[in-house]
Amino acid sequence: MSTPPVPEKLPVLYFGHGAPPLADDPLWSGQLAAWSAELPRPRAVLIVSAHWESAPLTIGATTTVPLVYDFWGFPERYYQVTYPAPGAPDLAEDVRKLLSGAGVLIAEAPTRGLDHGAYVPLKEMYPDADVPVLQISLPTLDPRRLYELGRRLAPLREAGVLVMGSGFLTHNLSCVDMSRGPDYAPPSWSAEFDDWASRAAHAGDVDALLDWRTKAPAAEIAHPRSEHLAPLFVALGAGSGTTETARSVIDGFWYGLAKRAFQFD
């Protein structure tokens, strides 16, 4: 009997997902498609999104259930999008073992489908919806606790699991002027935060990133609330053990917000 192939160790990703209309941006959708084409094909995806906060840590549906259209005021076509990715019950069990062994409390939400922070980018990266996907909640916004969560999940990479953090590197919708179009020059606070975060991530300066509120320029403007930055800390932790130095795969701005994406190899 032949021995099954050993899965290739997968990187960890952090990226901006944007509102549903970001999928209409041909540059952004093309960048995501090109990125996924360069990656080894995952056995499954484990994703944490800015749009699901629940404590204790909660495991989402392990069967294919309807999506969560967690946005308001958009044209009807955005509420007709489907993404029937297979569930990942085996991955859910692996997550339970890794976290419960470390004393992490776990809850279950078997009817909770993928939210737009998960399915919008996945639809561009794996449009056939043929990769099993499991979403887990953000149990906290504390950077160091999220980093430790990521460290506990890091062994999944050896089993062919692609760990994804979906947020946005700057996120202050009160400062977004939709009337100017998506390509206007970013405001200084967004550009400065993006530059700082990029340099810190490329240098592997995890301590600075975890202490971003006191270290980063324009921190309170770039993230009045940190849920869109929080998935980065999970990605940093899951990328630990080999290198915590990131490389930027996508950069630039969308309505002034930094859509930079990192890959931790």
- 31-63 pLDDT per residue, tens: 999 999 999 999 999 999 999 999 999 999 999
Asked if residue 2 is part of any domain, the answer here is no
pLDDT for 35: 97
pLDDT for 174: 87
pLDDT for 244: 55
Q: Using a pLDDT cut of 70, give the percent of the chain over it.
A: 96
Section 176-202 average pLDDT: 92
Q: How confident is the model at residue 141 (pLDDT cuts 50, 70, 90)?
A: very high
pLDDT for 2: 47
Asked if residue 94 is part of any domain, the answer here is yes
User: 């050993």: which residue's tokens?
Assistant: 6
Asked if residue 5 is part of any domain, the answer here is no
More confident residue, 154 or 242: 154
What is the spatial distance between Cα 59 and Cα 43, in angstroms, rounded to a whole number? 18
Report whether pLDDT(165) > 60: yes
Domain ranges, residue 192 = 12-256
pLDDT for 102: 77
Asked if residue 265 is part of any domain, the answer here is no
Q: How confident is the model at residue 5 (pLDDT cuts 50, 70, 90)?
A: low
Q: How confident is the model at residue 6 (pLDDT cuts 50, 70, 90)?
A: low
Grouping H, G, I as helix, E, B as strand and the rest as coil, residue 32 is: helix
Those residues whose C-beta lies under 8 Å from the C-beta of residue 255, and which sit 6 or more positions away, are 176, 177, 178, 180, 181, 182, 184
Q: Tell me the CA distances in angstroms from 120 to 29, 66, 100, 140, 192, one per residue in order.
A: 10, 14, 30, 23, 27
pLDDT for 3: 46
Amino acid 40 reads: P
User: 């800015």: which residue's tokens?
Assistant: 50
In this prediction the pTM is: 0.95
Report whether pLDDT(105) > 80: yes
Asked if residue 231 is part of any domain, the answer here is yes
Asked if residue 262 is part of any domain, the answer here is no
pLDDT for 241: 58
Question: Residue 36: which CATH number?
Answer: 3.40.830.10
Asked if residue 203 is part of any domain, the answer here is yes
**Number of domains within the chain:** 1
Report whether pLDDT(82) > 90: yes
Tally of residues, the chain: 265
pLDDT for 12: 97
At 204, give phi and psi (nearest 5°).
Answer: 70, 30
Select from 49, 249, 47 the least CA-distant residue to 164: 47
Report whether pLDDT(1) > 50: no
Asked if residue 25 is part of any domain, the answer here is yes
Those residues whose C-beta lies under 8 Å from the C-beta of residue 262, and which sit 6 or more positions away, are 13, 14, 15, 201, 232, 235, 246, 247, 248, 249
pLDDT for 22: 78
Report whether pLDDT(119) > 50: yes
Contact 136, 60 (CB under 8 A): yes
**pLDDT, tens only, 219-257:** 999 999 999 999 999 999 999 855 557 999 999 999 999
Q: How confident is the prediction for the chain on average, in pLDDT?
A: 93
Which one-letter DSSP state was computed for residue 168?
A: -
pLDDT for 72: 86
Q: Which tokens in the block code for residue 107? A: 């809850």
Those residues whose C-beta lies under 8 Å from the C-beta of residue 82, and which sit 6 or more positions away, are 67
